[in-house]
Chains A and B, each alone.
Chain A
Amino acid sequence: MEAYLFYLLAAVTVIGTVLAITEKHPVHAIVYLVSSFFSLAAIFFLLAAPLIAMFEVIIYAGAVMVLFMFVIMMLDVGRSGDGLRPGLRQWLPAMLLAGVILALLGMMLAHGGWPAPGAGAAATLRDFSLTLFRQHGVAIEIISLQLLFAVVGALYFGKRRGP
């Protein structure tokens, strides 16, 4: 049962990612990427890592994709006229992917909700945070500084346009 779920979800993830790469319209590409992230989250859930599944949805499908949307809106590269009445060919693949993910999630819930953890117990939020901040505290600091300099770099390149 779990194996079938996994292979179906993995197929949806790969198809979603491939479509996101090949799609020319940036907004459509983002929709495909979101569906790919969602099925990836379901895979993490299946692997008894509900925390990572939540992160995947909140951070990637939520925050990062919304950021992409904002950037596309600001640069105005998403041909807005097309959005008024999308054709069947444009929305059908996305609907199909979303439908498969929803159906599989429904099956997962009907089957007993929480998947049975494999060899060890599922990592709790507590275990996760302790490992992250105690063992890899320096790594967190390096990443924080890197994010700060991402902002600095973006400001620098945005500040002085023109001669």
Chain B
Amino acid sequence: MTASDLRIVLPLLLLAGGALLALLSGGITRTERASYLVAYPATLGAALWALIAPSPAAASTVGLASDGLARLFTVFFCLMAATVLALSRTYNSERGLRGEEYPATILFTTFGMTALASATTLLSLFLGLEAMTFGLYILVGSDLGHAGSVETGLKYLLIGAFSAACMVFGIALIYCFCGTLVIGQAVQATLLPGAGSSLAMAGWSFMLIGIAFKLSLVPAHLWTPDVYEGAPAPVAGFLSGGSKGAAVLFLLRLLPAAGDAGLLRLPLWWLALLSMLTGNLAALRENRVRRLLAYSSIAHMGYVAVALVAGAAGGYQAAAYYAVAYGIISLAAFGAIAVLERTGCGATVESYRGVGSTHAFPAAVLTLALFALVGIPPTAGFTGKWLIFTAAIRAGELPLAVMGILATALSLYYYLRIVASLYFSPVAARQQPLLAPVERIALGCLAVLIIVLGAWPSPLLDLFSRCFNR
């Protein structure tokens, strides 16, 4: 390992070291305060390093790189982890969710995401994804006081193990065909039209099944509502924003190496269509807020799949932008839900009645996030959908774009149902929560980002297009 390698892996080292230190300090001091104090600098430091580090002179020898995409997503994942930590503190202490394991596992999950972001071989790509999912198995089931929590964790674990098995089998078949694990070479040898053999196609099919589970694309979506319902709210936000973003990044690492989706276009096309339709239709009939957001996340991953089908016609930029935008939006939504659940809001839409007048700030953030999920300008959700559907039309995928726009119109109903419940209903008496300053800051930042990214997306888009049009 050379000095330039060290510069590439420094964010990873910071996160891994932070995770270990958080565990140790929690064990020594017997409080979780120290663990949180370690966790913030670790995430922020990793993000800062990815922002300002000079690009390495020599190519890496360790199977990791720090190109533009890797850095952008490292910053995104690390800042997201810091926000999740900020939103978790009061939520956890009120629900009796104690222990230094929680912040340490958040750091470890971020470590996995960052490893995935900077992977250059199929092996480190897969291991990064698995490390992330592994951390989430623990986090999803971490609320031991909640009745269904361990069951939720187990459900996620079984589904995750199945998808990991599919994915590793797919990677083995692809390796068997082309004899290399380096992403660019492997993808070009197997995915370009005319290059694929049946062995490589079987490998890609297994990979696609595995990643469909991670992205919760229909028909591999059934775990999503249960897990979103049973997990602690900040973890649900992390799962929805971070892990879905990482899974999108997984595909964004693979597909552009072949120019466009190539032989995977048709299966992705169907996954996109089914996810958009099923997600939105199921959400229409859902009355519980978290399950509703879970179905909406299925639909949104369908939109991202549309962007991936559109591919080189601007689709990859759109998918990357949407992954970031959706991550911020869903974290804002679940952050607001985390605060509102403390005030006595239950699972159903009706239990959020009148919150808009009693708890104006979190309700406003939730409303903004819901508007962004519908795609109302000038939010990031609108810009993302605009990019996706224009890319799809440019790539000649008119039916998919039309279906997507219709599905979006349909989704207006169920998002607005929550907003209506927030503001246009008689006020119920409820307890006043103490909004910790750090939560206020986190929610405020997320809300500002939703607006800023939506109204002024060009800097981020420039960066992305530089990543994909090398």
Contact = CB atoms under 8 A, between A and B. Distances in A.
A160 B23 CA distance: 17
B16 A153 contact: no
A136 B137 CA distance: 25
Contacts of A141: 16
Dominant SS at the B interface? helix
Interface size class of B (residues with CB under 8 A): 20 to 34
**Interface of chain A: mostly helix, strand, loop or mixed:** helix
A155 to B, nearest CB: 8
Interface in A119-163: 135-139, 141-143, 145-146, 148-150, 152-153, 155-157, 159-161, 163
Given A143-B127, A153-B137, A137 B16 contact: no
Contacts of A146: 112, 127, 130-131, 134
B105 interface: yes
B54 interface: no
A159 B127 CA distance: 28
B150 interface: yes
Contacts, number: 69
B124 to A, nearest CB: 6
Given A135-B63, A156-B101, A156-B142, A150 B150 contact: no
B63 A136 contact: yes
B9 A163 contact: no
B138 A149 contact: yes
Contacts of A150: 134
Nearest to B63: A138
B145 A163 contact: yes
B99 A156 contact: yes
Contacts of B320: none
Contact of A160 (B62, B104, B144): B144
B140 to A, nearest CB: 11
A148 B137 CA distance: 14
Given A156-B99, A160-B144, A138 B124 contact: yes
B425 to A, nearest CB: 34
Contact of A142 (B20, B115, B145): B115
Contact of B108 (A135, A143, A145, A156): A145
A33 to B, nearest CB: 15
Contacts of B63: 135-136, 138-139
Given A142-B131, A145-B16, A145-B19, A153 B124 contact: no
A148 B105 CA distance: 11
Contacts of B127: 139, 142-143, 146
B135 interface: yes
B358 to A, nearest CB: 30
B241 interface: no
Given A138-B62, A142-B124, A163-B145, A153 B105 contact: yes
Contacts of A139: 63, 123-124, 127
B98 to A, nearest CB: 8
A134 to B, nearest CB: 8
B62 A149 contact: no
B128 interface: yes
Nearest to A135: B63
B46 interface: no
18 contacts: A138-B9, A138-B124, A139-B123, A142-B124, A142-B131, A145-B16, A149-B108, A152-B101, A153-B101, A155-B101, A156-B99, A156-B101, A156-B138, A156-B142, A157-B141, A159-B99, A160-B99, A160-B144
Interface of B: 1, 9, 16, 19-20, 23, 62-64, 99, 101, 104-105, 108, 111-112, 115, 121, 123-124, 127-128, 130-131, 134-135, 137-138, 141-142, 144-145, 150, 153
Listed from nearest, the 7 A-B pairs whose CB atoms lie closest are: A153-B138, A142-B127, A156-B101, A138-B62, A146-B131, A149-B108, A139-B123
